[in-house]
């Protein structure tokens, strides 16, 4: 594998397009839906602090490894790893890490599309003014009404999946690059509009204090969750970033690019928090609502403050845009792989894979209603069961997939990627790709990748599995 190999899927105009794509991938439901509700659940600033440390010591090194491997390999993650392994004289079985990643990304897409569909439903609800003057019971009922209706959920899920497949089918430059050039600026404008709005609620500082005042006693609770979330929010561990790295121009500096993406993702998560919590406080509500924060608490807030309806539309539009630009990155590793493997057109490959994901997504749709009692990993009076029909304990299909991916597959994939970059890939190849001018800086980055990140991830995985 020479450093001048090019990708058959296309190449981006500049490093900025990689930044757009990687940021588009990173910024998603993770930032706007998960991050605020997790911060609420785990007590605010303490969680934020642990999260920031995990991003710096674990998330960014994995992102760096993925980008670097992708650009060196210039193929789908699976073929990139097998080629690079062969060139380094290692076993081609390393490519199984990317196979697992590819499957993980598709599993995430299957439920991600359902949740993004809720946001589509809420745009319509906001436009129709369904939330004006709504109270807690009303908002709960509206959310319950949506999740208990499999047909409505399926319609939105299908629409979102179609949007995602459409961009991917059109290709790396005509689809991804063109769409991202519109979506990403729009996302930032929408976010700023919301931030401006939250400053007018009179509760802005209360929101800020909630995010940044930390109580050390609360730290331990959220550690595992914060680590898992660091992977999820940066989109690392499945090859999404690796496949985008394969389309990155040769000249771009990987280090500063990755740093930019990580910074943007963090800024968006914190800004989303600062835009959201003041609105929640302004309506006299509590931030510890859990996953319902965005779909129950927030609409009550929007329905009861001046201008809330308009900003409600803006908000759910923002969520949709962010989710869309993330969803495409979950589909790309598999599509790139099967295009390489079968030689068929992107359109054909995309249709088949998206359809598969859509079918798995129906499992998530049904886990909120008809199959809510189909539980996995149940521990009850007579022991542990992989599957049980019960209304208590265990995890629904949706919860199981979320858990399996975020808590196990992403860290495991990330671990294998950093190990590969740090220990299998030749040091000279690594140095050449990274192209850092200062030797000290290089040593620092290299040891972060070889020791700190793998050790950190191992600790998470072992702790998680021994729970
Ligand atoms: N990072 C995105 C978010 O925060 C989700 C995402 C996109 C993702 N691609 C991924 C998560 C790959 C894990 C793996 O919403």
263 located within any domain:
yes
8 located within any domain:
no
The pLDDT value recorded for residue 143 is: 93
- CA torsion sign, 182 to 185 to 187 to 190? negative
2 located within any domain:
no
Nearest CA to ligand 1 atom 8: 235
pLDDT band (50, 70, 90) for residue 157:
very high
Q: What is the DSSP secondary structure assignment for residue 426, as one 8-state letter?
A: -
Ligand 1 pocket mutation, candidates 187, 233, 267, 408, criterion most atoms within 8 A of CB: 233
Give percent of the chain above pLDDT 70.
98
pLDDT above 70 (res 3): no
Range in 71-80, 116-125, 211-220, 371-380 the model is least confident about: 211-220
pLDDT band (50, 70, 90) for residue 177:
confident
Highest mean pLDDT among 1-5, 43-47, 261-265: 261-265
The average pLDDT across 203-231 equals: 82
pLDDT band (50, 70, 90) for residue 4:
low
Residue 256's CATH number? 1.20.1740
446 located within any domain:
yes
**Residues in a beta bridge with 384:** 379
pLDDT above 70 (res 5): no
Give CA separation, 205 vs 6, 188, 275, 330, in Å: 50, 22, 11, 36
Tell me the CA–centroid distance for residue 357 and ligand 1, in Å. Answer: 15
pLDDT band (50, 70, 90) for residue 413:
very high
Tell me the CA–centroid distance for residue 266 and ligand 1, in Å. Answer: 13
Residue 288 makes CB contacts below 8 A (sequence gap 6+) with 40, 41
Q: Alpha helix locations (H) across 283-307? A: 297-304
C-alpha 207/C-alpha 70 separation (Å) is: 39
Domain count, the chain: 1
The pLDDT tens digits of the residues spanning 88-104 come to 999 999 999 999 999 99
Give percent of the chain above pLDDT 90.
61
C-alpha 3/C-alpha 72 separation (Å) is: 6
pLDDT above 80 (res 322): yes
Smallest CA-to-CA distance from 330 within 13, 14, 26, 37 is with 26
pLDDT above 60 (res 224): yes
Domain coverage including residue 218: 15-466
Q: How many CB atoms lie under 10 A from the CB of residue 4? A: 7
The pLDDT value recorded for residue 233 is: 95
- CA torsion sign, 208 to 210 to 215 to 221? negative
The pLDDT value recorded for residue 2 is: 58
- Look-up: residue for tokens 């709005």? 197
The pLDDT value recorded for residue 440 is: 92
214 located within any domain:
yes
The average pLDDT across 201-208 equals: 88
The pLDDT value recorded for residue 11 is: 84
Give CA separation, 84 vs 94, 241, 246, 268, in Å: 9, 17, 13, 34
Q: What is the DSSP secondary structure assignment for residue 175, as one 8-state letter?
A: I
Look at 247 and 304; give whichever has higher pLDDT.
Answer: 247
* Exposure letters 36-71 (e unless 16+ CB within 10 A, then b): bbbbbbbbbbbbbbbbbbbbebbbbbbbbbbbbbbb
pLDDT above 90 (res 373): yes
Ligand 1 pocket mutation, candidates 67, 227, 235, 402, criterion most atoms within 8 A of CB: 235
Highest mean pLDDT among 169-173, 208-212, 369-373: 369-373
Q: What is the DSSP string of 260-277?
A: HHHHHHHHHHHHHHHHHH
Q: Which atom of ligand 1 is nearest to the CA of 326?
A: 7
pLDDT above 60 (res 307): yes
Nearest CA to ligand 1 atom 9: 235
- Look-up: residue for tokens 């769409």? 179
Give CA separation, 407 vs 154, 180, 224, in Å: 26, 29, 8
Give CA separation, 119 vs 33, 191, 321, 443, in Å: 10, 15, 10, 45
442 located within any domain:
yes
Q: Mean pLDDT score of the chain, rounded to an integer?
A: 90
Smallest CA-to-CA distance from 22 within 253, 233, 191 is with 233
The pLDDT value recorded for residue 88 is: 92
pLDDT above 60 (res 251): yes
7 located within any domain:
no
What residues are in contact with ligand 1 under a 6 Å CB criterion?
25-26, 28-31, 105, 108, 232-233, 235, 238, 240, 326, 329-330, 410
Residue 171 in contact with residue 10, Cβ under 8 Å? yes
9 located within any domain:
no
Tell me the CA–centroid distance for residue 200 and ligand 1, in Å. Answer: 31
pLDDT band (50, 70, 90) for residue 393:
confident
């Amino acid at each position: 594998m020479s450093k001048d190999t090019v990708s058959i899927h296309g190449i981006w105009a500049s490093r900025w397009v990689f930044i757009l794509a990687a940021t588009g991938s990173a910024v998603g439901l993770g930032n706007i839906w998960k991050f605020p509700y997790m911060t609420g659940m785990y007590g605010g600033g303490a969680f934020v602090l642990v999260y920031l440390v995990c991003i710096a010591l674990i998330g960014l090194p994995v992102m760096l490894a993925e980008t670097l491997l992708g650009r060196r390999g210039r193929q789908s993650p699976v073929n990139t790893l097998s080629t690079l392994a062969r060139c380094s004289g290692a076993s081609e079985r390393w490519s199984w890490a990317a196979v697992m990643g590819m499957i993980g990304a598709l599993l995430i897409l299957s439920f991600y599309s359902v949740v993004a569909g809720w946001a589509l439903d809420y745009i319509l609800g906001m436009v129709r003014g369904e939330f004006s003057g709504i109270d807690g019971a009303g908002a709960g009922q509206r959310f319950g009404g949506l999740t208990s209706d499999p047909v409505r959920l399926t319609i939105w899920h299908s629409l979102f999946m179609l949007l995602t497949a459409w961009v991917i089918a059109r290709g790396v430059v005509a689809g991804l690059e063109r769409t991202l050039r519109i979506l990403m600026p729009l996302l930032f404008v929408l976010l700023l509009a919301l931030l401006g709005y939250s400053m007018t609620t009179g509760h802005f500082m209360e929101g800020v204090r909630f995010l940044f005042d930390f109580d050390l006693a609360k730290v331990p609770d959220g550690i595992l969750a914060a680590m898992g979330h660091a992977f999820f929010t940066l989109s690392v561990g499945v090859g999404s970033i690796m496949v985008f790295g394969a389309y990155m121009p040769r000249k771009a500096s990987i280090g500063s690019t990755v740093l930019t993406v990580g910074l943007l993702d963090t800024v968006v998560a914190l800004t989303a928090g600062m835009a959201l919590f003041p609105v929640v406080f302004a309506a006299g509500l509590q931030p510890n609502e859990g996953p319902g924060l965005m779909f129950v608490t927030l609409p009550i807030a929007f329905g009861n403050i001046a201008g809330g309806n308009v900003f409600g539309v803006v908000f759910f539009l923002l969520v949709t845009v962010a989710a869309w630009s993330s969803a495409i990155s979950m589909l790309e590793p598999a599509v790139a792989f099967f295009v390489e493997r079968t030689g068929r057109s992107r359109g054909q490959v995309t249709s088949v894979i998206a359809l598969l994901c859509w079918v798995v997504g129906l499992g998530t749709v049904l886990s909120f209603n008809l199959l809510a009692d189909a539980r996995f990993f149940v521990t009850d009076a007579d022991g542990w069961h992989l599957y049980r029909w019960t209304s208590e304990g265990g995890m629904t299909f949706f919860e199981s997939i979320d858990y399996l991916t975020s808590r196990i597959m992403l860290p495991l994939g990330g671990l294998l990627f950093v190990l590969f970059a740090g220990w299998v890939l030749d040091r000279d190849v690594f140095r050449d790709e990274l192209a850092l001018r200062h030797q000290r800086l290089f040593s620092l980055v290299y040891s972060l990748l070889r020791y700190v990140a793998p050790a950190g991830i191992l600790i998470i995985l072992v702790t998680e599995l021994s729970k």
